[in-house]
Amino acid sequence: MTLVRMSTRGRLTIPKKIRDKIGLKPGDRVTFIAKEGFLLMQPVQGDLKDQMGSADVEGQQDFEKIREETKKSRGKR
């Protein structure tokens, strides 16, 4: 087990040994999933469509529609 301390800004440093083990490099993205008292961190590879099925949702999801709606809302900022 490896212990790290969170900074006052909420930042954590992932120890080099762990980064090397899972192949994380500077600029890589990760996702966090909180579940039953645990926090799971997983490297993100690809885009939103590649993540289909990785989150618990109700009913069928239309990722193309979600992607288009996200593009529109970002354009309004």
Which residues are CB-neighbours of 56 under 8 A, at least 6 positions away? none
How high is the pLDDT of residue 1? 83
> Do the beta carbons of residue 44 and residue 29 sit within 8 Å?
yes
Whether pLDDT at 62 is above 90: no
pLDDT digits (tens, 9 = 90+) for 28-55: 889 889 988 899 988 887 666 665 666 6
Residue the block writes with tokens 């212990």? 3
How high is the pLDDT of residue 7? 96
Q: What dihedral do alpha carbons 44, 49, 50, 53 form, nearest 10°?
A: 100
What average pLDDT is seen over the chain? 84
Indicate the domain borders of the chain.
16-75
